[in-house]
Chains A and B, each alone.
Chain A
């Protein structure tokens, strides 16, 4: 099972929506995963298989997390989120 982080600035709104999009896309792909939504500062100290967040926050995170960071422009765009998920999976083959 993979552990993913969905990150926004505050961990209450956008990241929650992103978490739902990731779960939906993961389900469609038959991936077993656990998604946690969180704010930027908590994300820095949390390990995960992959981190999904905006371009801006991703740039800020990259220096402080060992997890691969996948930037998402539209948190509710199932196709974009799905593509990021596919990118992550292709690193696991």
Chain B
């Protein structure tokens, strides 16, 4: 990850504090992923509305051949049609966001969810009222300008189009004018949209060595060799080892060997790096227990006794 990407990412990090007093990091969803989710959701809605209408039409035609459309059967279908449209347009988001995942199918696909925005520090629970409020606002964000456009065909097409586009732009650009990417509905409801990653627990690297017996004894690192790196380098090394790309492993191997002033061997990069990782982690964690943190290779140790 480049430095620019890292700083962008950290801009979206927020902290909430659980009732147990444990601070949790959450990441505000990007505006792009939210747009993607919106498009996916409306695709689903439109497709199901079309399917719904076609189904009603097919039933309606059958009824008509049996009887006239004026009878109660045909009328019942018209009732169904209006109720169905209303429920799909307004109920879809509310129904799914009230579920345990707090996300519509579109949001789930891009890996984001709705959550209550903490007022102050403590995390809050997401309430049904909040979800209803945030979705009612879609009426002015999306459907109002659409009615401008559809009304534009009658008279005064130019002004109506301009007004509609301005209106639409105002609400679509709303998330760009605040830090948390809130849209108008989020402001009114006190919610925000955050990333909802689901990670599996990866194997511990320091354990994943079937051949500990042979290799751990091959490499021994002294304190001065482990002194040069900090936590950031440790985590980069962890990432490299988990990716397991041979070329990168070789390059990292070379860099480390040069840095600690050893002679570069070859053919044994992976084992070297794994034992180096374990040794470095043991060293840094040992320091941690004494309250000393070393963020990266440039920083002096924090919190330790002055030397």
A binds B: no
A-to-B contact residues, CB < 8 Å: none
